[in-house]
Copies of this chain bind each other. A is one copy, B any other.
Amino acid sequence: MSGKRSLIRSGTTVDQMVRAIGDRIVTGVLVPGEKLDEVSLAARFEVSRTPVREALGQLSAMGLVERRPNRGAIVAVVTQEHLTSMFESMAELEGICARFCAERMSGSERRALETEHQASARLVRLGAEEDYEYFNTEFHSRLYRGAHSTHIQELTAMTRSRLAPFRRAQFRLAGRLAKSWQEHDAIVTAILRGDGTAAGTAAKNHVSIVSEASAVFAVGERPKAASLAMPFTAS
C-alpha cells in the first residue's frame, strides 16, 4: 500500500483511527464489552496493525477501551458504581462551568447563548428531537467554552465523551424536551443575571436529572460480541 490513504480524511492515520473507533464507541455502534480485534480493525480500515495498536493505546488512556495485557482490548465496560461517579462528576463539572460562565462570559457570548437558547424553543414546540439533540450538544459546548478555562473544558469534554454511550436514550422519555428546555432556561437566566451560584446549582440539577433518566439503561444490557461479525458501516 504505497498509495495515498484512500477514504480516510487528512491528518495522521492514528488520529483518524482514534476518532473513528472512538466515535463508534460513543455512538454505541460498538457496545461495552465488545472485543476489539486488532487484525479485524486493521482490515476494516485498510491499514496495518501498527496504527490500530497505537489508536487502541490512546483510547485506553482516554478510558474508552480497556486493555488486558496479552488478551486483547474490549470496549470499556463501566460498573454501575463508576457510572454513578461519572454522572456525579459531570454534574459538578457543569456546575463549575456554568458558574464561571456567569462570572466571565463576554457580552457577545452571553448574547449568543441567549439567542440560540431562545431559538431552540421552536424545536421543542415542534418536537424535533434530532434537531434539539444537536442544539443541546451545542448548548453544553457553549457552556464549556464560556467558562474560559481550558483545563476544565478538557476534563468536562472527556467526561462527557465517556458518558455519551449512556446518555443517548434519554430523549425518548416523554416530555423530556420541554423539561430540558426549562432547565436550560434556568441556567441561561442565572448566567445572564451574573449569578454564578444559581447558575452552578441549575446546571448541576440539570445533569442530575439526565443522570436519573439514563441510569436505567446502564446495567442489564450486555450483549455478547454478536455484532462484530458484521463490521460496522463504511466510514
Contacts and interface: CB of A to CB of B under 8 A. Distances in A.
Interface string A51-75: 0011001101111000001000000
Given A53-B54, A58-B60, A159 B155 contact: yes
A96 interface: yes
Interface in A115-158: 149-152, 154-155
A89 B155 contact: yes
Contact of A88 (B50, B58, B81, B152): B152
A86 interface: yes
A15 B86 CA distance: 25
A14 interface: yes
A82 B152 contact: no
Dominant SS at the A interface? helix
Contacts of A85: 149-152
Nearest to A67: B12
A11 interface: yes
Interface residues of A, number: 29
A60 to B, nearest CB: 7
A53 B54 CA distance: 8
Contacts of A159: 151, 155
A92 interface: yes
A157 to B, nearest CB: 12
A150 to B, nearest CB: 5
A85 B154 CA distance: 10
A63 B85 CA distance: 23
A12 B58 contact: no
B11 A69 contact: yes
Contacts of A82: 150-151
Interface string A2-18: 00000000011011000
A88 B154 CA distance: 13
19 contacts: A11-B69, A12-B69, A50-B50, A57-B58, A58-B58, A61-B61, A61-B62, A63-B154, A81-B150, A82-B151, A85-B151, A88-B152, A89-B151, A89-B152, A89-B155, A92-B152, A151-B159, A155-B155, A155-B159
